[in-house]
Amino acid sequence: MHKEVQLLKEKRNLILTGAPGTGKTYKTAEIALAILGKDILNKSREDLMAEYREAIKDGYIAFTTFHQSMDYEEFVEGLKPDIDEKTNQGTGTYSVKNGIFKKICEQAFSLRMEVFNIAWQKLIENLSKFKTIKWKANSDTNEYEFKLSSKGNNIEFIHVESRHSVNKEEIEETYRGVKQQYHLGYKKCVVDYLIEKCDLKEYNHEEYNHVLIIDEINRGNVSKIFGELITLLEKDKRYGETNVIEVTLPYSQKNFSVPNNLYIIGTMNSADRSIGHIDYAIRRRFAFYSIKSDVNVIEEKCNDKVKEKAKSLFKNIEKLIQENINSDLDAEDLMIGHSYFLCENIDELKAKLEYEIIPLVKEYNNDGIITVEREKLKEEFNKWRNNI
């Protein structure tokens, strides 16, 4: 789990890949809570999921599934019919409505500004402590020295060498990452100082993070769904970062950036070759982490009465795939996931074999993932049935 979380923190965008049943969606809840700074190591699955649902309710986590009908208007913003709340009927008028992506971006941004306002208020309250202080702050390769000055209710940070001053409005713009000017480095130092001296944690601390989970991300036309926002997904292009980019949204005509305290987790079924692949423009903006099918999970979680039968079936299927895999593919990425083998009794294992595993193996064969003669495949199926 540590590796997945670290990758997401570094890249801001992560896609979990793997065959069906490897636990990709299962893991997203744990990763999301870890990004929010929650303890995921010492909790039962029930407690962890209760915390996960609470985070969704509070707006810190959002979950969606991509599909072939998903579009920009549903995901970002679009014109939707107005509905009369009393009659639940259309009014004949249309309004710009936010999609799930824009909603969570706005919530993430609002909490960032909450931190800034708390810091600024603390500075006002404790001005007597800070107004004579000079300090040095590192920004990139340059070193700056500032002092704090106040004239009535107006507080300014003054760069000692150039005498350039920045006020609250300019500093707030820098905190949001909205405005780029030649003295951005000065402002960035002021923001860092403001947070530090007001005894606050860093302004993108975990408790202000937000997570968007996109299940089956490659089932939708990702380029079409994100539209012009694809570029904004990059870590250094988000507001709060040096190379922030802002676009004007087509429907609302509002300026928009993606906040740097929003993390995106996608899942992608590596066995499904019938759907669109992630193009290079999207791929370079995400880190990819492969989740393998693991027999040890069966050992840990399967009922003792059926554990050995389940492990034996797992290994027999693994052998079939390894010996007959298409030479262009990797058997490790396509081994049927361990969740197919987790069960409480023999009857459940038999049912999973007959109605879940065998149909999937047949589909693998039909799609050319494995190449096995029909009669030989039938023989294998009968062996699996007889060994349970």
For the segment 232-281, what is each residue's pLDDT rounded down to a tens digit?
A: 999 989 877 778 888 999 999 998 989 888 999 999 998 876 555 677 77
At residue 330, the pLDDT reads 87
Residue 102 and residue 111 in contact, taking contact as beta carbons nearer than 8 Å:
no
At residue 144, the pLDDT reads 60
Query: Is a pLDDT exceeding 90 seen at residue 211?
Result: yes
Which two three-digit tokens encode residue 48? 């962890």
Q: How far apart are the C-alpha atoms of 301 and 307, rounded to whole Å?
A: 9
Per DSSP, the three-state class of 253 is: coil
Q: What is the mean pLDDT of the chain?
A: 84
Instruction: Give the model confidence (pLDDT) of 274-330 as tens digits.
Output: 555 677 778 889 999 999 999 999 999 998 889 999 999 999 999 999 999 988 888
At residue 182, the pLDDT reads 44
Q: How far apart are the C-alpha atoms of 383 and 388, rounded to whole Å?
A: 9
| Amino acid, single-letter form, for residue 90 | G
103, with CB counted inside 10 A (0-12, 13-18, 19+), is middle
Residue 72 and residue 225 in contact, taking contact as beta carbons nearer than 8 Å:
yes
Percent of the chain with pLDDT over 70: 80
Per DSSP, the three-state class of 75 is: helix
Q: Beta strands 210-215 and 165-166: pairing type?
A: unpaired
Nearest residue to 310 via CA among 339, 335, 332:
339
Residue 299, number of CB atoms within 10 A of its CB? 13
Nearest residue to 18 via CA among 323, 328, 336, 319:
336
Instruction: Give the model confidence (pLDDT) of 126-165 as tens digits.
Output: 666 665 556 665 555 555 666 666 665 566 777 666 667 7
Nearest residue to 21 via CA among 387, 347, 343, 326:
343
At residue 157, the pLDDT reads 72
Which two three-digit tokens encode residue 211? 């997570």
Q: How far apart are the C-alpha atoms of 273 and 116, rounded to whole Å?
A: 47
Domains recognised in the chain with CATH numbers: 2-80+206-290 (3.40.50.300), 127-197 (no CATH), 295-386 (no CATH)
Query: Is a pLDDT exceeding 60 seen at residue 355?
Result: yes
Residue 72 and residue 97 in contact, taking contact as beta carbons nearer than 8 Å:
no
Categorize the per-residue pLDDT at 1 as very low, low, confident or very high, splitting at 50, 70 and 90.
low
Alpha helices in the chain (DSSP H): 2-11, 24-35, 45-57, 72-75, 100-125, 127-130, 168-176, 184-197, 222-226, 280-283, 295-301, 307-324, 331-334, 346-352, 358-367, 374-386
Instruction: Give the model confidence (pLDDT) of 89-128 as tens digits.
Output: 767 788 899 999 999 999 988 877 777 777 777 777 766 6
- pTM reported for the whole predicted model: 0.81
Per DSSP, the three-state class of 288 is: strand
Phi-psi map region of 383: left, alpha, beta (phi>0 left; psi -120 to 50 alpha):
alpha
